[in-house]
Structure 1
Amino acid sequence: MRLEPLASDDPRDVLRALRGAVLGAGPAIALGEAPALPDEVPAGTAVVLTTSGSTGVPKSVVLSRSALTSSALATAARIGEGHWLLSLSGGYVAGVQVMVRALVAGRDPAILAGRFTPRAFAHAVSGMHSMAGGERVPTYTSLVPAQLQTLLDAADDPDVLRALRSFETILIGGQALPVPVRERAAELGVRIVRTYGSTETSGGCVYDGVPLDGVRVEAAGGELRIAGPNLADGYLGDPDRTAQTFVTDPAGVRWYRTGDAGTVTDGVVAVTGRIDNVIISGGVNVSLDRVERVVQSVPGLEVAVVVGAPHERWGQTPVIALAGSADAALLAAARAAVEAELGKPARPDRIVPLATVPRLASGKPDRRAITALVTRG
């Protein structure tokens, strides 16, 4: 099958190309900033999505039509079918999956074009008036936590609050959702579902801890791995990485090794952090993901980011990066909360105020950039 790079990141151009790649005869499309890719890909390929995430190492993930549509159908079976709003970049899997869900349902998504703001969001939502059989069609959207936080902060605007409450479900993925943000959304009557997944799983495949139909999740040696019809075919032009990441067990089941630490208890998945997002502080292994979750439970630090930084005495210590200013009382509260739950070695050393928190195009914090800023002081 022919592979056609898509130079435009305009969501309307991506939607047009996806229609042919997923529902038509192709060609397959390449999204993201990729090195030179072959002109031909395996039959059945819909999208080759190149992303480096927070690791900085590019990987071109091969997603088939069947994987994308299986994911879309499983989502509809779990939360319902309706009219989708695209509020995310079309060059990342979460945005692609919003469009695929809409295409599979036979209803083009509404599109929030341009810069994401509460007013732009409310305006886009106000135009979603689909009807079927004389009844309003349920609406859905997908956001990253930073977008949800921005909207909740603007919820004193009745138009923004009305827009948030209008959705049957808002999927929240891309990174962990701080508990205070989730609680605030619930208090305002905003219906959210937390999702977990990656490009390699065609986007979110675990909703509020429960895998979608057809998806299996297990913890092997403390690492979460996922099986199901939604898995990517592998990494284009990188058979070694494919073999390391996608493994087949003795029973013939193909699994994706997520690189995430976690547990599965009575069918409920709990993610505790990245296996590789660990520093050694004073000779003790400290999970920065676990520290960040505790820090974000402190009022005023709900959207803080925790990274590791060099320390003269301890080697490395957790450091809190925060947009805006912070006082000593806030740091003291964070240190006390972390010590109580994780022990003294995990206590953050300081808060570094930033003008803005650097983010990837996917909406996730750019941890490499944040670490560089923190390290420079």
Structure 2
Amino acid sequence: MEREVELIGRRLVGPVDHVVSYAPPQHLFGALFGQWLPRLAQVRVHHAWADPFAPVSVSPGERVLIVCIPMAWDLLRRGWPALERAGSVVALHSSAAPPPAARELVRRAAPLLQAHEILGSTETGGIAHRPLPPEDAAGPWRAFPDVSFVRDVGSPARRVQELVVRGPRLAQPESGTRPLAQWDTGDLVEFTGPRTFRLVGRSNSLIKVNGIKVHLARVEQQLAACLPHAECVALPLPDDSITGEGYAVFWSGRGNGTGVSDIRTALMNFPSPSRIIELAKVPRVPSGKPDRKALLAVL
């Protein structure tokens, strides 16, 4: 944890007088920059995650670090005048794609505000970073210096590959005595250079809702186990402007006694779906799999 704070703090943040954290400390991102960094740097911290609507107060000339998750950006945009008295403001964003409010604020608040995206997970820590630009066209991700990739170097240029990483900050499994040798992130990438890449998508059903990992395959398994007489499909909604990434549950089976409240109860240990859509019947392709195109068209 100290190595992660020192590495990312030195590379992206610089000296800090005041930390404002919207990321809860039960997430690695929130623990690192909302707890460990202010403790190691001996600076004050405002735990904005506990009361996101409370106004942020900074002293003139303070160097401020803001720890962001998607829902924080709209709040920052509304409360930005209170931060304009700072000497500098650095925002770190992790946990899903930044919403439109992030780019709008970066555009409006430059050069006082500098924002960076961090790609990583609980298992890997920070993998790569890139500036958060005011335009939609973001550049490639650049690996942190202690991260290396397991890749097919002989593959054709621009070939899509799975992102598998190695490094000294990989987690140690609860049941093991040694850190992991490597970690398959589930991301699909195109390498644009020896240490840079572009995200293409995910090789599995993993999304992040405000920093919480959600395996949509597990969502469907839970629904099938709890509601065996209903037909349920979970699909990602990557354009949610508040949470960054979200998902929808499509279902049919009211005639068997199932209702929306049953779906919410079944998913009480998961982040809530953004949408729950009832259908007379779940459309399927000839192979029997859910027809994703037809389902998303319902939205």
- Shorter-chain TM-score tier: 0.5 to 0.7
Where do 5+ consecutive residues of structure 2 fail to align? 131-140, 153-159, 207-215, 217-234, 252-281
SS of 1:258's partner is strand
Change (3 A) 1:188 1:91: same
Change (3 A) 1:146 1:86: closer
- Distance in 2, matches of 1:115 and 1:140, equals 17
Alignment check: 8 A CA contact 1:217 1:264 kept: no
Consecutive aligned runs of 4 or more in structure 1 exceeding 4 Å deviation:
218-221, 300-304
Residue 144 in structure 1 maps to residue 105 in structure 2: no
Alignment match, 1:274: 202
- Distance in 2, matches of 1:105 and 1:167, equals 17
Alignment check: 8 A CA contact 1:218 1:263 kept: no
* CA shift for structure 1 position 269: 2.8
- Distance in 2, matches of 1:277 and 1:172, equals 22
Change (3 A) 1:304 1:93: closer
Alignment match, 1:212: 144
Alignment match, 1:184: 104
Paired AA for residue 88 in structure 1:
A
SS of 1:236's partner is coil
- Distance in 2, matches of 1:317 and 1:237, equals 39
Percent of pairs identical after alignment? 17
SS of 2:170's partner is coil
1:72-221 to 2 correspondence within 5 Å? Answer: 72-79=5-12, 80-83=14-17, 84-98=19-33, 99-112=35-48, 114-117=50-53, 120=54, 122-123=55-56, 126-127=57-58, 136-152=61-77, 154=78, 158-159=81-82, 162=84, 167-178=88-99, 180-189=100-109, 190-202=113-125, 204-208=126-130, 209-219=141-151
Where do 5+ consecutive residues of structure 1 fail to align? 1-67, 130-135, 247-253, 280-287, 319-344, 352-377
Alignment match, 1:264: 191
Alignment match, 2:175: 237
Alignment check: 8 A CA contact 2:97 2:245 kept: no
SS of 2:182's partner is strand
Q: How many residues align?
A: 217
Residue 312 in structure 1 maps to residue 290 in structure 2: no
